[in-house]
Structure 1
């Protein structure tokens, strides 16, 4: 609003300007912007979180015409309709959000377990799939156990919850008996855990169909990383009726799932007829004695 008689001369105006305090305004560098976004990244994380599976989204990131986003895997799950507004999705990419993701450096999701690495957003997922600090899955094969954790907690879990056989030492002598050896599909025996060289090993023994042929299989898994598993060798031996069968190999890490190891036949595999031959007698009952040992390679 103009007030009569209140106009200032140019000299007065410049004088007032000179009396204003100096204010330093610095433009943030791109590094500080990224650093700030990482330190207060909860909002960014929410933007990059798929509303369906709640996992971080990676290209292609899809969006509906109203701007709601979701990951490519879940686009198929929701039958091409936005889970937020139910609008048909089409094939719209959210390129802006993909660019935002490219600018981020984020800590590993296993930071609270000991990983100190910082990774580009699109390299973070690949790292986490191999991170040595990621928890292990329970190696018990008798049920679909969803427990995960570090090795000490899993050993306690196997002992207390699954009641597995716990042994100290690097040699074993086990007897496996089955009154009806013709029933082999999905037959498993109690897991045995060995404390040997300060590490833990799981001895599996089970029966299944190899194609149409019923077989028995024994194999050892190492409770730790694959690189550490390679430091050890083990042997398994089954004998009877004057015959002997020996297997020697390297224990597999429990990072490899039980089914993956079994289906690779990486262990002592005995066909049922051979197993019954080793059992002796009338061959109407399985009575196998499996011995073995674990040793550390120099």
Structure 2
């Protein structure tokens, strides 16, 4: 028995759910890291081997460890979250963990520099160990989430990957050009579903834009909304503007704005009402007839700011 330790019952392994207390972000998934491709680089340019990676990997959640790094009396290390999850019992030797910090490993990690985990997607940054997570949270090469809002789609990737995915898997209409003229028809306008009616992708100025049109409940009132999202980062989205117009019977409703990046979730953009919002009574008035069927024609244009 190790000094100061006592045996405890065997515990199960847990999934990767540890948080990094210093960076206040969730640690990266190691599935993006290729051990055979990268070693760790010291501040003096010394390339280390793959064994260093294993030293810094928590044996329970398999994520890289950040302070405080804990160890048992026998020297086995693990991250803080997993220490709590295994009920203070070492998953390697089953001894009580106590509150021993592995300061040597924490200091060693501080001397290392690592490549961004999005290196394969184009990022060539080499970062200090304790700055890596913060960089990756905002890295412009990180994958985008699928912009389709009609399902709980978990696909991520770069823009070309998402374009192919939208076309092949979601059967989204693809158009070239910077103007659009869409007619939306709904047989029962009193039936409001919290789902996308239509998503159309437009290609212009060498970029892609997602035009959303949908019905949802805003408080007690059903509304219809059209808005544009840019398939790229916010810094690029701000270089463009767009306008939308809907109307009939000598009246029209217009909207002009800047497309939101798909970095912002569909729900976030919709709930912010950052687009053309049409109340149901007005939408039915635009539809004409006996108000028993919704017929809206939405026109618009995208342009690049000088």
TM-score calculated relative to the size of structure 2: 0.78
Q: Deviation digits for residues 176-209 of structure 1, max 9, x if unmatched?
A: 2222222223231231000111110011111222
Would you say 1:136 and 2:152 are equivalent positions?
A: no
Partner residue, 1:174: 182
CA contact (8 A) 1:34 1:103 kept: no
Match among 26, 50, 65 for residue 58 of structure 2: 50
Gaps of 5+ in 2: 1-40
Once the two structures are superposed, the pairs formed by residues 10-25 of structure 1 within 5 Å of their partners are none
Gaps of 5+ in 1: 1-30
Partner residue, 2:300: 292
Q: Which runs of 4+ in 1 moved over 6 A?
A: none
Secondary structure of the equivalent of 1:195? Answer: strand
Q: Deviation digits for residues 156-186 of structure 1, max 9, x if unmatched?
A: 1211121101001001111122222222232
Secondary structure of the equivalent of 1:182? Answer: coil
How many Å separate the matches in 1 of 2:55 and 2:103?
13
Would you say 1:228 and 2:236 are equivalent positions?
A: yes
How many Å separate the matches in 1 of 2:188 and 2:84?
46
TM-score calculated relative to the size of structure 1: 0.79
CA contact (8 A) 1:34 1:104 kept: no
More helix by share: 1
Structure number with bigger Rg: 1
C-alpha change, 1:132 and 1:187, in structure 2 (3 Å) is closer
How many Å separate the matches in 1 of 2:85 and 2:99?
15
Match among 263, 273, 288 for residue 280 of structure 1: 288
Once the two structures are superposed, the pairs formed by residues 51-130 of structure 1 within 5 Å of their partners are 51-64=59-72, 67-74=75-82, 84=92, 92-130=100-138
Q: CA deviation at 1:85?
A: 5.6
Q: Deviation digits for residues 69-96 of structure 1, max 9, x if unmatched?
A: 4444455655666555666666554433
Q: CA deviation at 1:260?
A: 1.8
Q: Deviation digits for residues 93-148 of structure 1, max 9, x if unmatched?
A: 44333222211111111112222211101111111112122222221111122222
Partner residue, 2:153: 145
